[in-house]
């Protein structure tokens, strides 16, 4: 399970992160999201994507969100050796590309969580706080970290970047 909270970027947050968190990596991520051939992921709140970045290529399934305050959901990731072959495989299985999401991501580690500063093409700048392989009980850790960075629980955004991009269109 991926336990995650997202917030609109506030000035000074990245400077604060540099003071209290361990920098991990800065990278560009290129995602292509797909829709299932037999059901509408928009209606079921699921997602399948292919991601390419400096660390390689990953195909990811995301299940429906499990609570109303966060973006927490089941997540299954598979590393593959070819973006093009993964794209072709999904298309041959009937999946159809929906939209691309491109972002510059700066990753920090803080109190057992990953904190990302994301510049997302077309929608803006955000902070994501994530604990992989967690449980929904870990959301309190996320909100404690968010508070450290100047965010309240009520400022949490539950929309995905894909949902934001589709809403903008």
**Dmax of the chain from CA atoms?**
48
Question: For 46-64, how does the pLDDT look when each residue is reduced to its tens digit (9 = 90+)?
Answer: 999 999 999 999 999 999 9
pLDDT tens digit string along 131-163?
987 788 889 999 999 999 999 999 999 999 999
Backbone angles phi, psi at 73, to 5 degrees: -165, 160
Distance (Å) of CA 120 to CA 12, 25, 116: 18, 17, 12
Catalytic residue, candidates 33, 108, 151, 161: 33
Name the domain count of the chain. Answer: 1
Question: pLDDT confidence of 13, banded at 50, 70, 90?
Answer: very high
What CATH number is attached to the domain comprising 94?
2.40.320.10
d(CA 148, CA 143): 9
Q: What share of the chain is helix, strand, coil (3-state, %, to 5)?
A: 25, 45, 25
Quick one: pLDDT at residue 44?
A: 97
Kindly indicate the confidence band of residue 83, based on its pLDDT and cuts at 50, 70 and 90: very high
Domain span holding position 105: 2-168
What is the pTM assigned to this prediction? 0.94
Please name the helix (run of DSSP H) or strand (run of DSSP E) that holds residue 43, with its range, or none.
helix 41-44
**What confidence category does residue 169 fall into, taking pLDDT thresholds of 50, 70 and 90?**
low
61 is an active site residue = no
- What pLDDT does residue 141 have? 92
Residue 16 predicted with pLDDT over 90: yes
What pLDDT digit, counting tens, does each position of 90-108 carry?
Answer: 999 999 999 999 999 999 9
């Amino acid at each position: 399970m991926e336990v995650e909270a997202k917030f609109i970027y506030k000035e000074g947050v990245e400077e604060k992160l540099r003071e209290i968190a361990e920098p991990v990596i800065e990278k560009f991520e290129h995602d292509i999201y797909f829709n299932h051939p037999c059901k509408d992921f928009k209606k079921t709140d699921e997602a399948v994507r292919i991601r390419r970045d400096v660390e390689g290529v990953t195909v990811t399934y995301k299940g429906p969100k499990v609570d109303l305050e966060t973006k927490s959901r089941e997540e299954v990731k598979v590393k593959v050796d070819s973006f093009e072959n993964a794209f072709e495989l999904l298309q041959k299985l009937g999946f159809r590309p929906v939209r691309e999401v491109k972002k510059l991501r700066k990753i920090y580690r803080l109190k057992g969580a990953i904190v990302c500063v994301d510049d997302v093409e077309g929608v803006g700048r955000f902070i994501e706080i994530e604990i992989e392989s967690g449980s929904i009980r870990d959301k309190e850790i996320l909100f404690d970290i968010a508070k450290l960075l100047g965010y309240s629980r009520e400022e949490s955004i539950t929309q995905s970047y894909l949902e934001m991009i589709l809403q903008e269109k």
